[in-house]
Each structure stands twice: as C-alpha cells, then as structure tokens.
C-alpha cells in the first residue's frame, strides 16, 4: 500500500478546487433540481427533460454532487433529495437556493476574479471589474437584484435568535434602515403584537416588500418608505436598526449613514447595529471570509470591537453594549451623543 499524501497537501488541493463545487451547486440550484425531486425520486432522463438539459451530462453533475452529500444517487441513474438538497427547494422556508445563486452569479464571479486587484490597491474588486458597484449593478439588472433580496430574506430568517437577543418589545416603533424586503421587521413584529415599524430601503427594493409583510400578517403595522440612507432616513422611531448595513460600506460612507440616522433620532432613541465583530487571530473564519466578500463585492469591511466603538463615535454615537446575537452576528447598541 502506498503512503497517503500528508493531510495539509490534500486539504490545500481541496481548497484550490473548492470553486468547482460552488459552481456545480449553483447550476443545480438554477435548474431547480431539488424542486423537480420534491415529489420523490426521478430518473436522470426524466429530470433532463423537465429541466431542458443533456441527460448524460446532467447525470455527471448530479453524481458528483451526490458524492459530496447533495442529493442521493439511487439505482439505474435516478436521484432523490436528501436532507441537504431539501434546503435547495424553493418552497423551503430556509431555502438556500437564492443565496447559492447570488454567491455564484456571473457578476460576483467576475468580481472575485479581480481579488488580486483589491489586494494590490485596496480598492473594491467589483467596481474595478464591472465598472460600477454592486448596488448599481443590481439596480440595472432587476433579476440579480431580486435574487440578492431573496438571499437576504433567507439569511435573515436563518438568524431568528437575533430577535430574542435584545429587548425589542421595549420600543413602540422600530425603523429597519436598509431592511430589504422586510424579513427582519416581520420576525420582530411577529413577537411583539402591538409594535409598529418603518421599513426603509431603496425604492426598487421596498416595492417588493408587501408580499413578505402580508405573509407574516404585519402589513398593517409597517410603514414602507423608499429612499437612500445617503440622503436621509425617516424620523419617528424609538430604535433604528442597521442590520448587515455598515459592513457594506467604507468608514467614510458609514459616517455619512450614521450622521443621517443620528439627525432623524430623538435623544431617547437607540441605534442597534447587527453585524459581525471580527474575532482574534486564527479564529472566526465566518467574519474573516465575510470581510473578504465585503472587500470584493459590496465594498465594505467587517470590524473589530475597537473599530466599532471608534466608528460609532465618528458618526455621533456613544457605544452602550455589544452582545452575541447569533452564531454569526453581534448586536451593538449605541445612543446619540
Ligand atoms: C446586506 S443587505 C441587508 C438587508 C437587511 N438589512 C438584512 O439584514 O437582511 C444591504 C441592504 O442595504 C440596502 N441599500 C443599499 N444601498 C442603499 C441606500 N443607498 N439606501 C438605502 N438602502 C440601501 C440594500 O438594498 C440591501 O437591502
């Protein structure tokens, strides 16, 4: 028997090829294979005709995915969903399909191809590679925008423990600034039946919020406002939530956003930032890889405890507390100075 290669060698080779798995998963998500298997196992010939693909090639894709735990390969070239692929179904409450599609969308791949430009210059890779930032790109490509918004809904639903991590019930009105299509507002209001909310995001995003709000039965209690947080945000809330917003932006842009929020707040209102706090050396891969994604895609960064306190101060806020909100996020509370 030969000597197996060292573990580190095998791991590095796996890392070098990891993009192939991402792309294969994305193709299966785009083809809605998990939806096609929702009623039970099907032959690959049947799946190919349902998805308008080449049967022998679809077989190669699916057997490769099944070999790493996504779908189960059965006898005679047929496949079934398994616990992992169930999450690719578009009717799953925590469907990862939009996130998989968003991470592997063509413009994101193009941006990641310019990571070396970012590392050499410190500049945002997407702006360099696409000629515009991702927000503008998504405004011009409504399908890309809808996929991103759907991914954000799933990611917000997947972090419901954030709602229990803070006493949101103590605020009669909350404003979710950059709240997407309302998944977080729905989670908070569902727990607090008398609470009201303002949902604020870009006009082309909030226009798609009503179905999400209606499905949660909170539409009567939510005022939906379209605009840009670089121009100003609505007044009148007791708590202003910035969930996964500031990590999208440079420090200078964050100070602009914070100053605009500060201007709309009464002295008694509170700011609640939900974002990652970067952990110590050699730990916390989630925050550190999300940070690279911000470098490449959105153009922002993840921040350490000290960086958060300093940034808030620059934006006119006194830091009050930081607490773990979920496995991947912290809740930072601040008051206007
Ligand atoms: C990373 S997503 C987070 C969405 C939501 N807060 C959540 O946690 O799921 C960032 C959000 O910021 C919004 N956004 C980007 N630029 C904006 C602007 N200039 N004004 C208002 N919202 C903006 C995006 O439309 C998007 O919904």
**What domains does the chain contain, in order, with CATH numbers?**
7-89 (1.10.10.10), 101-149 (no CATH), 159-336 (3.40.50.150)
Q: What is the pLDDT of residue 160?
A: 78
Q: Is the model more confident about 157 or about 43?
A: 43
Which residue in 267, 258, 270 sits closest to 171, CA to CA? 270
Percent of the residues in the chain that have a pLDDT greater than 70, as a whole number: 100
User: 230 with 257: CB under 8 angstroms?
Assistant: yes
Buried-state track 46-64, b at ≥16 Cβ within 10 A, e below 16: ebbeebebeeeebbebbeb
**How far is CA 215 from its chain centroid?**
21
Q: Is the CB of 135 under 6 A from ligand 1?
A: yes
Q: Which atom of ligand 1 is nearest to the CA of 228?
A: 20
SS3 (DSSP) at 114: coil
User: What was the pLDDT predicted at 158?
Assistant: 78
Residue 142: how many other CB atoms lie within 10 Å: 11
Report which of 85, 118, 170, 134 is spatially closest to residue 248, judged by C-alpha positions: 134
What per-residue confidence (pLDDT) applies to 138? 96
* Alpha carbon of 225 to ligand 1 centroid (Å): 13
Span 266-295, mean pLDDT? 97
Is the confidence at residue 9, as pLDDT, over 80? yes
| Residue 308 binned pLDDT confidence (cut-offs 50, 70, 90) | very high
Pocket lining: 228 vs ligand 1, CB cutoff 6 Å: yes
- pLDDT surpasses 80 at 127: yes
- Res. 159: pLDDT tops 90: no
State pTM to two decimals.
0.94
pLDDT over 80 (residue 7): yes
φ, ψ for residue 326, nearest 5 deg: -160, -175
Mean pLDDT (whole number) for 2-18: 94
Per cent of the chain over pLDDT 90 is 96
pLDDT of 143 > 90? The answer is yes
pLDDT value at 1 more than 90: no
- Cβ–Cβ under 8 Å, residues 288 and 242: no
Mean pLDDT to the nearest integer, 23-44: 98
Q: Is pLDDT of 249 > 90?
A: yes
210 pLDDT tier (thresholds 50, 70, 90):
very high
Q: Is 204 a catalytic residue?
A: no
Please report, to the nearest 10 degrees, the dihedral formed by the alpha carbons of residues 141, 147, 152, 158 taken in order: -170
Q: What is the DSSP code string of 230-286?
A: TT------SEEEEES-GGGS-HHHHHHHHHHHHHH--TT-EEEEEE-B--STT--HH
Rounded CA separation 14/269 (Å)? 49
Q: Which of 178, 258, 293 to mutate to test the pocket of ligand 1 (most atoms within 8 A of CB)?
A: 178
- Mean confidence (pLDDT) of the chain: 96
Closest C-alpha among 117, 183, 175 to residue 149? 183
Sign of CA dihedral 260, 261, 266, 268: negative
The residues near 229 (Cβ < 8 Å, ≥ 6 apart) are: 177, 178, 200, 245, 257, 260, 261
Question: What is the spatial distance between Cα 286 and Cα 276, in angstroms, rounded to a whole number?
Answer: 9
Residue nearest to atom 19 of ligand 1 (CA): 228
Lowest mean pLDDT among 44-53, 76-85, 144-153: 144-153
pLDDT value at residue 178: 98
Tallying the residues shown for the chain, one arrives at 337
For residue 156, the model assigns a pLDDT of: 84
Contacts of 295 (CB under 8 A, 6+ apart): 115, 118, 124, 125, 301
Q: How far is the CA of 6 from the centre of ligand 1 (A)?
A: 44
Q: How far, in Å, CA of 47 to CA of 78, rounded?
A: 9
DSSP annotation of 195 reads -
**8 A C-beta contact, residue 313 and residue 319:** yes
The pLDDT of residue 335 is 98
List the one residue out of 239, 232, 277, 275 whose CA is nearest residue 256: 232
How much distance in Å is there from the Cα of 273 to the middle of ligand 1? 13
Atom of ligand 1 minimally distant from the CA of 229: 20
Q: What angle do CA 38, 186, 150 make, to 5 degrees?
A: 45
Number of neighbours of residue 13 by Cβ within 10 angstroms: 11
Atom of ligand 1 nearest to the CA of 156: 9
């Amino acid at each position: 028997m030969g000597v197996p290669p060292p573990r580190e060698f095998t791991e590095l080779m796996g890392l070098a090829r990891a993009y192939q798995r991402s792309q294969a998963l994305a193709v299966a998500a785009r083809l809605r294979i998990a939806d096609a298997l929702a009623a039970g196992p099907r032959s690959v010939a049947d799946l190919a005709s349902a998805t308008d693909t080449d049967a022998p090639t679809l077989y190669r894709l699916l057997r490769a995915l099944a070999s790493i735990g996504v779908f189960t390969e059965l006898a005679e070239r047929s496949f079934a969903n398994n616990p992992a692929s169930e999450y690719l179904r578009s009717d799953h409450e925590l469907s990862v399909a939009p996130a998989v599609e968003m991470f592997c969308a063509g413009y994101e791949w193009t941006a990641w191809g310019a990571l070396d430009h970012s590392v050499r210059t410190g500049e945002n890779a997407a702006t360099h590679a696409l000629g515009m930032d991702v927000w503008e790109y998504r405004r011009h490509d409504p399908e890309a925008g809808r996929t991103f918004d759907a991914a954000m809904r799933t990611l917000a639903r997947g972090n419901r423990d954030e709602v229990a991590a803070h006493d949101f019930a103590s605020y009669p009105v909350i404003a979710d600034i950059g709240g997407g299509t309302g998944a977080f507002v729905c989670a908070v209001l569902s727990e607090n039946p008398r609470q009201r909310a303002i949902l604020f995001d870009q006009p082309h995003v909030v226009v798609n919020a009503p179905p999400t709000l209606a499905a949660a039965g909170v539409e009567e209690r939510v005022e939906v406002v379209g605009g840009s947080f670089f121009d100003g945000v609505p007044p009148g809330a007791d708590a202003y939530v910035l969930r996964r917003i500031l990590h999208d932006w440079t420090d200078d842009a964050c100070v602009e956003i914070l100053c605009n929020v500060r201007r709309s707040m009464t002295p008694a209102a509170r700011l609640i930032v939900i974002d990652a706090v970067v952990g110590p050396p050699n730990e916390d891969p989630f925050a550190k890889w999300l940070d690279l994604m911000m470098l490449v895609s959105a153009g922002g960064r993840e921040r350490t405890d000290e960086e958060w306190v300093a940034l808030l101060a620059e934006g006119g806020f006194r830091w009050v507390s930081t607490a773990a909100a979920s496995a991947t996020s912290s809740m930072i509370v601040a008051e206007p100075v």
